[in-house]
Homo-oligomer: A and B are copies of this chain.
Amino acid sequence: MNIFKFQLLRKSGLSRIGKIQTAHGSILTPAFMPVGTCGTVKAMMPESVALTGADIILGNTYHLMLRPTSERISRFGGLHRFMNWPGPILTDSGGFQVMSLAKIRTITENGVIFQSHIDGSNHTLTPELSVKIQHNLNSDITMSFDECTEFPVSEKIANVSMHLSMRWAKRSHSAFVKRLGYGIFGIVQGSIYPDLRKESIEILRNINFDGYAIGGLAVGEGQEEMFRILSIITPSLPEDQPRYLMGVGTPSDIVGCVQRGIDMFDCVIPTRSGRTGQAFTRYGTVNIRNARHQNDSRPLDDACNCPACRNYSRGYLHHLTRSKEILGLMLMTWHNLQYYQDLMSDLREAIIKDRLINYVTNFYNLQTFGDIEQL
């Protein structure tokens, strides 16, 4: 069995190439984790997710605790076996989704009391329970339970919220059952206030986590502000441990964050956008529902090697999307996940070759170029 460890393989400026070793295999970083909310990356076979190049996926504690429950998944041998994904899995703590999805919430020192968005049933989530659920799921990387501070927020409230999250981080770490190949990450909070962020990092480093996540960003502060805060945070994070920016982001976000030393990302954008007909390409986004594509026999992106681009025309994808066909969701999702994984692979290659700045310049030029001309 592998031990859980992070190897920093290469640096170029603030950017890093690393490798995380887990019980279920290793992850090359910078890495993008497709989101498998309810025990499935929506509209994808897990074999197909692996084919895009994803090393690791993310599971949602909030959704899975409600349905089918972590006890049930545990009886099936854990989330990997339940959903037929043999690779590493990171699970979030449930904190963020309780805030965004549950109906009624009461936050106490102990944890969060909430009503399920599915059937209105009452639940309590605490740091100890969140970690236990993630243990039941057999998650390779457990996230500590935190309160995602709302935005915008005063420094005073951000301070109170951050300190609650830090006490919960301590309790999460204590509740975590150490096993070979499994790790737990702490989550830095403190909104847009540099001093709070630094204090949060110091507290978490004293607890001594296996990795550090940054929460409370990409919640409405805008890309520029996010980049500014990141530039303040990352120099304070330990160099020899992975850094995970939660819930980020667009391709442009990811490129900028890799430049600022982030190693891991997760986001529903590629999968959710795929289901609404939006595709990511080198030349920016394409809305395949647009009538300009209906007679277009060209692929979505002729440089992409996914099945949607290899075997189908824009006209066909347009037809599927307009006709609300399931295959449209499948192909568009696959393409977007492929785009994201290709982006990560390109970023890793650029870091290794010490030419990330050139890559980023070219990336932004192509993105602003716009979609290919209408036929």
Contacts and interface: CB of A to CB of B under 8 A. Distances in A.
Contact of A307 (B45, B83, B313, B315): B45
Contacts of A325: 38-40, 42
A323 interface: yes
Interface string A55-79: 0000000000001100010011000
Contacts of A297: 75-76
Contact of A45 (B295, B316, B330): B330
A132 interface: no
B322 A67 contact: yes
Contacts of A44: 327
Interface residues of A, number: 34
A119 to B, nearest CB: 11
A318 B68 CA distance: 9
A320 interface: yes
Interface string A243-281: 000000000000000000000000000000000000000
A83 B316 contact: yes
A241 to B, nearest CB: 34
A175 to B, nearest CB: 26
A43 B312 CA distance: 16
Given A39-B319, A330-B330, 19 more contacts: A38-B319, A39-B320, A39-B323, A39-B325, A40-B320, A43-B326, A43-B327, A43-B330, A45-B327, A67-B319, A68-B294, A68-B315, A68-B319, A72-B315, A75-B295, A75-B297, A82-B315, A82-B316, A82-B319
14 contacts: A38-B325, A39-B316, A39-B325, A43-B327, A44-B327, A68-B315, A68-B319, A68-B322, A72-B315, A76-B315, A76-B316, A82-B319, A326-B329, A330-B330
**8 nearest A-B pairs in the assembled complex, by CB-CB distance:** A43-B326, A40-B327, A68-B319, A84-B311, A38-B323, A40-B325, A82-B316, A42-B326
